[in-house]
Chains A and B, each alone.
Chain A
Amino acid sequence: MRRLHPLSGAVSVGRGLLQGAFFGVIAGTTLAGLLGLPAWTGPLMIPALALVLGGFALTRYYRFTYEIEGETLRVESGVFARQSREIPLGRIQNVDSRQGVLNRLLGLAVVAFETAGGNATEATLDAVDKGEAERLRRLVQRHGEARAEPETEASAVTGEAGDKPSPGPADDSPAHTDTQELFDFSMRDLLIYAVVSVRPAAPVLLLVGLPLGIDALLTVVRFNLGLVGGPTTVSLAVLDAFGPPRLVAFALLTALQFLLAALVLSVALTVVEYYDFRLVREGDDLRYERGLLRRYSGTIPLSKVQTISIRENVAMRRFGFATLVVETAGYNGGNGETGQGVAIPMAPREVVYGLARDIEPFGDLDFDRAPTRARRRYAARFAIVVGVLAAVGYAVDTVLLESGYWWLLLGLFVLVPPAAHLRWRHRGVTLDDDVLATRTGFWRQTTRVVPYYRVQTVFVGRSPFQRRRDLATVTADTASTSSIFGGAARAYDIDDERAAQLRDVLRERLYTDLLARKAGRDG
């Protein structure tokens, strides 16, 4: 059994000592006062607690052992509650490694193994040196290949039976010479991508996350108020003192600042996240690397890809770019790492489709749109939203503002028909030879490609409003993780009869394709 790298042990012991000392200070000041202990016990708490936590970290380091033996990864851990875990290599979906700033200085990496079950990463090695991380990754990768190619497996078996070490690539380390560079980002492309893929929510999240974020926000608002010539205290009374023109100027100014901040922050975040992005193909695996401060790298076995998503937002569509995301069953829980599964952050559409077809062959996707009565449905829905908005605006205006301009909101009704049309136009479904493809979204269009043999459960849903118009939504669930967040392949608002047909086709194709794959593997 192997241990984690000694340096990582030293780091966690150091962290334990520091934490213990910190708790010691708190406990020394509060507890001693509370229980009326003599004054000299206070300072003693600091080394005592530091020793306890440091010792705990040390024991945990010595308890944690792991090894890849034959077909399984074995991990033993735990100080009080001992745990030993065995993961069959064939069940491992992804191997990821990440390096924080400290680990980069020490030349260490945290390696995480993901399987399909459970709701957390199955095994995390925190941390091993880079060579060891590479060795582990290759061991898992080689296992996947041995399974994929029957000849290799067979020769390995005969090698064992003949009591001879099997010759060839199965034993010597660099098994792969066929690494092929698929994609990398130049600084210029990265900046374009960062600008084009602006996430407007980024500054809000950042502000909420920072300790002084709200104060900074209030300072800006106060500054704006001063600029349009109002009192510099933030309260609702300000609205009374302002006439509509100044109010509008204030709102525009703030909105502009917000958008600018969003742009700058979002660009910065994207650059940090995708700096020096690189995608290579090693045999049957895709391997990526990215990150400025924290460096992430990981392998995505092509044989375990569940769903391929191609994302294009409005700006990217305009210039013919797209994002490629491949999903396996491995990643669990929304741990906020938006980059997970991203194979290509941005490339010309042909390149993206080329790689997607390489992973899972499909033809030209010719999407069928929903019947036009679906468009009427969207129009009705948007009209209701605008109506509610206008009503709320009216209420706010009569009670609070008394400006008499609430009817301006009714102007939004003009936007209803084009919005409904755009939503309808960008939704579609198609049954290709080997895959089901669905598409949705105008602002961020997502095209999902699901091979028939990956379909799990098929849902046909009809809300009361859909039933009125004989429409239904078909959801093809797969084991990929993003479908937890409503990201499953969905054919929206198709004709009820067609939905039933679609369900039957999916069910049938699932069986025929599974059998075909099985036959292909056996023969």
Chain B
Amino acid sequence: MESLHQRVRLLWAGRSALGGLVLLGLAVVVDRFFVPLPLQVAVAGWVVLAALGAVHALFAHRIWRFSLEDDSLFLVRGVVTRTDTSVPYVRVQHVDTTRGPVERTAGLASVVVYTAGSRGADITIPGLRPDRATELRERLRDLAGESEATDAV
């Protein structure tokens, strides 16, 4: 089983802190122009949110595992509800690597695997080194080709 790059923790923690910051900004705007709010409480709330996000990121990274097995891609993830997912290679429709602006600055990339299924039809493996992401995409493409989808849907 392979785990994600360490830096993804920073990415996730940063993301939740940023999300909290947006909320905080909203609170400030409301305070300025509409109704006075207790801003100290809002700031404390943001700190708590960011801390929770960081803890969540730590756990998420510890739990996240994936591996390429004989006939399927296997993933373990989820802090609260833990989910094991197996995606048979026959069912892979196409594979993307994506690098968002934030991911790029962190030097990371994601691989997205698409199936024809309707629930969770796209499965994302985040926090990979770019070369590893490319390698994984090519490997998955080859595996999907080898298993030869006879009746993809």
The interface of chain A, by Cβ under 8 A from chain B, is 116, 304, 306, 329, 453, 455-464, 467, 475, 477-481, 483-484, 488, 500, 503, 507-508, 510-511, 514, 517-518, 521
Contacts and interface: CB of A to CB of B under 8 A. Distances in A.
A410 to B, nearest CB: 31
Given A467-B82, A484-B118, A510 B153 contact: no
Ordered nearest first, which 9 A-B pairs have the shortest CB separation? Answer: A456-B117, A477-B117, A460-B84, A479-B116, A483-B118, A518-B150, A463-B81, A116-B153, A461-B83
B50 to A, nearest CB: 23
B118 A477 contact: yes
Given A456-B116, A456-B117, A488-B119, A462 B150 contact: no
18 contacts: A453-B151, A456-B115, A456-B116, A459-B84, A461-B84, A464-B81, A475-B119, A477-B119, A477-B120, A478-B117, A478-B118, A479-B117, A479-B153, A481-B118, A507-B71, A508-B71, A514-B150, A517-B150
B3 to A, nearest CB: 19
Contacts of A483: 117-119
Interface size class of B (residues with CB under 8 A): 20 to 34
B80 interface: yes
Nearest to A479: B116
B91 interface: yes
Contacts of A478: 117-118
Contact of B153 (A329, A455, A503, A508): A329
Contacts of B117: 456-457, 477-479, 483
Contacts of B71: 507-508, 511
Contact of B86 (A329, A503, A517): A503
B85 A459 contact: yes
Given A304-B153, A510-B88, A518-B151, 19 more contacts: A116-B116, A456-B116, A457-B86, A457-B87, A457-B115, A459-B85, A459-B119, A461-B84, A464-B80, A477-B118, A477-B120, A478-B117, A478-B118, A483-B119, A488-B119, A507-B71, A507-B86, A507-B88, A517-B150
Contacts of B83: 459-462
Contacts of B150: 514, 517-518, 521
Contacts of B81: 461-464
Contacts of B136: none
Contact of A456 (B78, B84, B91): B91
A332 to B, nearest CB: 9
B153 A457 contact: no
Given A116-B153, A507-B72, A517-B151, A480 B118 contact: yes
Contact of A503 (B78, B80, B84): B84
Given A116-B153, A329-B116, A457 B82 contact: no
Nearest to B150: A518
Given A475-B119, A483-B119, A457 B80 contact: no
Given A457-B85, A464-B80, A511 B118 contact: no
A461 B151 contact: no
A306 B118 CA distance: 12
Interface in B58-104: 71-72, 78, 80-88, 90-91
Contacts of A467: 82
Contacts of A479: 116-118, 153
Contacts of A461: 78, 81-84
Interface in B21-57: none
